[in-house]
A and B are shown apart, each in its own frame.
Chain A
Amino acid sequence: MVDEATVRRAQRGDAASLEAVLRDLAPYLGRICGAIALDAGDDALQEAMVAIARNLGSLREPAALRGWARRIAVREAVRAGRGGRAIPVDPATLDPLGLDPRTLVPDGTTAVEVREVLAALRPEQRAVLVLRHLDGLDETEMAEVLGVARGTVKSRLHRARAAFRERWTA
């Protein structure tokens, strides 16, 4: 992970530091964009990287780089996955908070099978799953990343979770 001094240099316009920041973020954000946007993942990642490079100067605290970049990547990936329509998302579709997908999809599941399950979901559902499984975010953090209120998310959770589990175990 790049250190804070490198991020600060990148914010001041140092090209080598900016390249180092983008290189460091690419694999991490690539997992987020790939799982949410699927076939549009490469395009979403590129758009996220362009937005990150253009707006890096507005990041107040360099230590918050990954969380800030993650928000941008999720936004771009959901938009790409929905065919270009922007979030905010409908909170009713934020199903699987609190769900541990490891209990539903056993070890040894192939990449093709994971992709098939993901493809059956909406992009915002995939976003929640990715943030939960790959990043281990709690529901407060996820609500913040996705730009919806935690209370709203919680109130929708119970009903949505059942439908979600059904899909995973079908």
Chain B
Amino acid sequence: MTAETWPTAVLRPIGRARALAAGLPGTAIQEGVIDAPFDRVWGFIADLERSVPEFDVDVARIRIVDRDGSRLRIRARSSWRMAGLPLGFDVDLEDGWCWMVARPRLYVVAMAAEPDPDDPGRTRYAHLEGITVRPRALARATRWRTRHHVASDVAGIERALGLRP
């Protein structure tokens, strides 16, 4: 009998995002169900250069500057609302999982998706975003803004997929 024959549990992307949110008090996470199949949803999101500027009102442009398997380095420029600031991110991009850590490591974004087990025509989605700095009081102060931003991103994804006006 080998370890391979034992039943094994898997940490799925949304579970990973929930765990990170639990350990990062300056972040907010929103979950929902998108009325489109996983391949379509993730096919859109994973094309970061196109998708992020389309659904995130605070990002004007994204460019992939380095790629090594699932590891990417990207440069982003914020929208005029955020003063057009340049930002760098280290990204881990896998099927159903995108984990973006800003340089310096003050801001993180995670996008997680998996097929809805109750309806393969739909996709469960989780979006985490926020600051990682201490003290916690600062994290609490920014959480309201983060919650609204995450909700805006999720709505932007649904708009881009033609699921809402």
The residues of A with any CB-CB pair to B shorter than 8 Å are 10, 12-16, 18-19, 22, 26-27, 29-31, 33-35, 37-38, 41-42, 44-46, 49-54, 56, 101-102, 105-107, 109-111, 113-115, 118, 130, 133-134
Contact = CB atoms under 8 A, between A and B. Distances in A.
Interface string B1-37: 1111111111110011011101110000000000000
Interface residues of B, number: 29
Interface string B95-109: 000010100010010
Contacts, number: 114
B112 to A, nearest CB: 12
B8 A34 contact: yes
Contact of A30 (B1, B9, B92, B101): B9
29 contacts: A15-B20, A15-B24, A15-B105, A15-B132, A16-B101, A18-B24, A19-B101, A27-B8, A30-B8, A33-B9, A41-B7, A41-B8, A42-B15, A45-B9, A46-B15, A46-B19, A49-B11, A49-B15, A49-B16, A49-B19, A52-B19, A53-B20, A101-B1, A105-B1, A114-B5, A114-B7, A115-B7, A118-B6, A130-B6
B158 interface: no
B19 A22 contact: yes
A60 B101 CA distance: 26
A150 B120 CA distance: 48
Contacts of B6: 31, 34-35, 111, 114, 118, 130, 134
B1 A107 contact: yes
By CB atoms of chain A within 10 A, which of B1, B3, B8, B15 has the most?
B1
A34 B4 CA distance: 11
B20 A19 contact: yes
A44 B132 contact: no
A65 to B, nearest CB: 14
Given A12-B134, A46-B15, A107-B1, 13 more contacts: A18-B23, A27-B8, A30-B9, A30-B10, A31-B3, A42-B15, A44-B9, A45-B11, A49-B11, A50-B19, A54-B22, A102-B1, A109-B5
Nearest to B139: A13
A111 B23 contact: no
B90 interface: yes
A150 B18 CA distance: 36
Nearest to B102: A15
A18 B20 contact: yes
B5 A110 contact: yes
Contacts of B7: 34-35, 38, 41, 111, 114-115, 118
Given A31-B3, A46-B18, A37 B23 contact: no
Contacts of A109: 1, 5
Contacts of B12: 42, 46
Contacts of B20: 15, 18-19, 22, 53
Given A56-B23, A109-B5, A13 B11 contact: no
